A and B are shown apart, each in its own frame.
Chain A
Amino acid sequence: MTGSLEAAAQLVAELPPAAAVWCSGLRKRYRRQTAVDDVSFTVRRGEVVGLLGPNGAGKTTAIKILLGLVRPDAGEVLLLGRPVTDPNARARVGYLPELFRYQPWLSAAEVLDLHVKLSGAAVPAGERRDCLALVGLADRAGDRVGGFSKGMQQRLGLAVALVARPELVVLDEPTSALDPLGRADVRDLLLTLRERDVAVLLNSHLIGEVERVCDRVVILDKGRVAASGTLEELLGQQEVRLRLSALGPDALSRIAALGRSSRDGDVHTVLLPPDAPADAVPDLVADLVALGVRVHAVEPGRISLEERLLDILRGETE
């Protein structure tokens, strides 16, 4: 009996840690408006996941449901392995809301102290100062938040999200009030978090930002998950642009054999199929040269996340 119990304990201990976020069948209606409809996705430990979608797609509502701020009409959420209805599920979670405001009558350092106390984590004063320094507020620690600009308040919000040693950080539009320099800082910060194995759920309009830092993307549209997957999965198709002259019909059929192609003057764009072999492009160039074609330029092209997002969203509307 004890043996089987120990075996069970062993089994549980050896299980991989629960996902940072697991949600299933989330649904939320506000009167007649369906904000979130049957949304399910997972953020694994140490993974950076981007949440994308047009305005009103339900991204912020979905985030608020995940954090227990909004009660879903249906569905389940586990944060770091615990149901979100248990407040302790949020002990290791940091959150920067889209609407970021902190007590204007407290100083920046006091806001951090408050959040550390509420989180129940033991974070020494030095580490709190480092956290303010990380977001560029080291010299404003003693100033009242009421006198901060929007950008500074957002930086403070980032510090609040990061101060209590989170294992999951949820950032809702973290760069909306930041200048280009601040945006670059946030990007570096996200990469640091990924190195430290902190899971991040990032909602951002800046697709370039998402493309650069995210491992996976979940695209929401009209409250539903329109697509999700790794960047490779979503952007699977690659293209190659060739500037060619002295083309014969054999060369044209050789190009067509590789994939769907289009022509603009002497520039041919070939869409590579997802299962194309790794040396499909060099083979093509070699064959074209053998057929007497003059090759002036070969440029690899990649469908951007933006184009793909627009494709998906337009596909949804059609």
Chain B
Amino acid sequence: MTLSTVRIIAGLTLKEAARRKVLRSLAVLTAVLLGLSAWGFWRLDIEFGTLTSGESRLAASQVLNLVMFGLSLIAALGTAFLAGPTVSGEVESGVALAMMTRPVRRSAVLAGKWLGLVTFGAGYIVLTGLAQFLIVKATLGYWPPHPIAGLLLLAAQTAVLLTLGLLLSTAIAPMASGIIAVGLFGATWIAGVVGAVGEELHNESVAQVGTVSRMILPTDGLWRGAMHAFQDPAAVQFAATFGASPFLSMVPTPVAYVGWAAVWTALILALAALSFQRRDL
């Protein structure tokens, strides 16, 4: 019964995502981003026609990371604003009342919502990411070294953020939870950049900022892993000589860190289930 509840609610969540305006706005934003990037890569090819193949690969991988950041931002915003209102919005509107009096466990309903949102977010990342890779391949002839691993890390980043959004949505008002989730996401990214600057300057306490924030909310750490999978391996040596950039990752993400992200997600989801269980509807 519990498993079938999870399946039913996951299907319902996907249907909701497909039918609501969020999907249309997401599609428009993505089309704009993909179109702009296609145009940009095409111009890049013309402008930098004089670059050596190594230089142009370097440029392509840098710009690809920049565009992928845009994509991950759209995915994060989209899913956070889908996840944020899901529980509290349904409680406020009354949609939850009739549903929760069915023979269902609240934790199963929450797990179903999570599964639906993760499927939606991951599907979006994989589809648009692949489209973006094809654009770069067609315009600049660049293909990332680990496309699948990178996309999975990006999908994991989306999952982490929407899990946080789900937890917030069991406790606070609909829009506030979306805004807080996105705010934290942005803050962690900035803390990650600050940490990278600290590493560059060999200032340990500043570098700690990035490390700590990456442990508290694993979005930025996963994003850095994804970047590393997308970028040209030569970029790291190049950066060692000429200095780092926010769209360059010096080291791949350790497996242990991915494990931590999984544990983090499970913990937050359990906390969300507990908070939803205790809530009066």
Contact = CB atoms under 8 A, between A and B. Distances in A.
B97 A97 contact: yes
A120 B1 CA distance: 8
A118 B104 contact: yes
Given A103-B16, A117-B8, A120-B1, A69 B97 contact: yes
Nearest to A99: B94
Contact of B101 (A69, A99, A103): A69
Interface residues of A, number: 32
Nearest to A70: B280
B131 interface: no
Nearest to A114: B12
Interface string B254-274: 000000000000000000000
B203 to A, nearest CB: 49
B19 interface: yes
A64 interface: yes
B91 to A, nearest CB: 10
Nearest to B17: A105
Contacts, number: 76
Interface string B6-42: 0010001001100110000000000000000000000
B103 interface: yes
A176 to B, nearest CB: 13
A103 B95 contact: yes
A67 interface: yes
Given A69-B100, A114-B8, A117-B8, A102 B95 contact: yes
A64 B105 CA distance: 16
A93 interface: yes
Contacts of B1: 87-88, 120
Nearest to A145: B95
B103 A87 contact: yes
Contact of B20 (A69, A96, A97, A105): A105
Contact of A69 (B4, B8, B280): B280
A41 B15 CA distance: 41
Contacts of B278: 71
A119 interface: yes
A157 interface: yes
A241 interface: no
Interface string A81-107: 000000111110101110111110110
Given A64-B280, A105-B16, A97 B94 contact: yes
Interface residues of B, number: 24
A285 B20 CA distance: 73
Contacts of B100: 68-69
B5 interface: yes
A69 B94 contact: no
A119 B103 contact: yes
A63 B102 CA distance: 15
Contacts of A87: 1, 103-105
Contacts of A93: 101
A119 B102 contact: yes
B281 A64 contact: yes
A200 interface: no
Nearest to B5: A118
A247 to B, nearest CB: 61
Given A95-B97, A103-B95, A120-B1, A115 B19 contact: no
Contacts of B15: 105-106
Most buried by A among B8, B16, B100: B100
Interface in B122-164: none
Interface string A159-171: 0110010000000
Interface string B83-122: 0000000000111011111111100000000000000000
Most buried by B among A69, A106, A160: A69
Contacts of A88: 1, 103
Contacts of A97: 94, 97-98
A102 B93 CA distance: 9
Contacts of B16: 103, 105
A200 to B, nearest CB: 15
Nearest to A88: B103
B103 A101 contact: no
A100 B8 contact: no
Interface of A: 64, 67-71, 87-91, 93, 95-97, 99-103, 105-106, 114-115, 117-120, 157, 160-161, 164
Given A90-B101, A119-B103, 6 more contacts: A64-B280, A87-B105, A99-B97, A105-B15, A118-B5, A161-B98
6 contacts: A101-B93, A101-B94, A114-B99, A115-B98, A118-B5, A157-B98
